[in-house]
Amino acid sequence: MKALICYNPYSGKQKVGKNLEYIKGRLKTKYNQIDVYTTTGVGSLTEHLKKVANSYDFILVSGGDGTFNETITGLIQGGSKTKLGYIPGGTCNDVGTMLGLPKNIKKAMKLMLEETSVGMDICKADEKYFAYVFGVGKFIDISYVTPSRLKRKFGRMAYFYYGIKEFVQDINMHVKINTNITEVEGDYYVVLGLNSNHVAGFKIFRKKKIKLNDGHFDLTLIQKKGVSWPRLFRFMIFGDLALKYGISTITTSSVTLQFNEPIACNTDGEFAFKKSNCHIEILKEAINIVVPSKTKKKLF
């Protein structure tokens, strides 16, 4: 039985590196070979997992949402469904919060050794995979234009500071939206593809309980009409209670988006690509991840 530990030493307040011997000791109670991989830069984890994931029985990863995105990309591109354990280590970490995963090392290791894995849906926007959010429009670049040093020092407040800078910037985004159930077209301020109830540190209220293995995601559309930014913040704070006055949501398994011009698109808080069209689909139960029993009952 083999296990692999992967971690990003520059993500948030990194605890795994400081507790590496303890983690290895705990894993040795179940696995007879423990290997360690430290990320060396953007994309390094994805490339490593593509090559080696199938040779392990368990992979333990720690880092922020970007690290998790690299992990799922490497697993899927490598054709691996090796059991995955994840210890959140980023600034806001929407994935870890959504899944109820502990940041405390002792609690995390107890979970990894005692709980079983569940199949979790992953989305794909053209050739980019994402776990919880696709975004295009106003403010969607905040997570990656905000300097890492400010995120580490001020946490979520750093996002608010850089968000203020975008208030004065206009956006002209005309979008044709074709899903497997409907077609709409209009001028939009923000388009969000959500397979989550957490975005940018906010918990998004949903009238219908979300399930992370049902083969569907929600496409939330915020119209460009008058002063548009209050609608976005209303949605971030009130979720589905704000689905009126120019805010709508479509639940779908796939969608094609056509823009009036090439526009920057974001997946899991990172720049994905700049295009005039893209196709988003859901890959049902594409990964196997360890989650608490409470989360399993609630979200799966």
Same domain flag for 90 and 178:
no
Q: DSSP character for 14? A: -
Residues 98 and 21: their CA atoms lie apart, in Å, by 28
Q: Which residues contact 99 (CB under 8 A, 6 or more apart)?
A: 86, 289, 291, 292, 295, 299
Same domain flag for 71 and 142:
no
Domain span holding position 25: 2-115
**Distance between alpha carbon 32 and the CA centroid of its chain, in Å?**
32
Same domain flag for 101 and 197:
no
Q: What sign has the CA pseudo-torsion 261, 228, 65, 258?
A: negative
| Residue 158, domain CATH | 2.60.200.40
Q: Do 140 and 266 form a contact (C-beta atoms < 8 A)?
A: yes
> Is 91 within a domain?
yes
Same domain flag for 132 and 271:
yes
Number of independent structural domains in the chain: 2
Q: Do 60 and 89 form a contact (C-beta atoms < 8 A)?
A: no
Residues 133 and 126: their CA atoms lie apart, in Å, by 14
Q: What is the pLDDT of residue 17?
A: 78
Residues 176 and 159: their CA atoms lie apart, in Å, by 29
Q: What is the pLDDT of residue 145?
A: 46
Q: Which residues of the chain have pLDDT under 50?
A: 144-145, 147, 162
Q: What is the pLDDT of residue 144?
A: 43
Q: What is the pLDDT of residue 64?
A: 86
Tell me the C-alpha to C-alpha distance, in Å, between residue 170 and each of 8, 94, 139, 273.
36, 28, 11, 20
Q: What is the pLDDT of residues 225-253, one digit of tens each?
A: 765 667 766 776 766 777 777 788 899 99
Q: Do 185 and 176 form a contact (C-beta atoms < 8 A)?
A: yes
> Is 297 within a domain?
no
> Is 57 within a domain?
yes
Entry pTM:
0.85
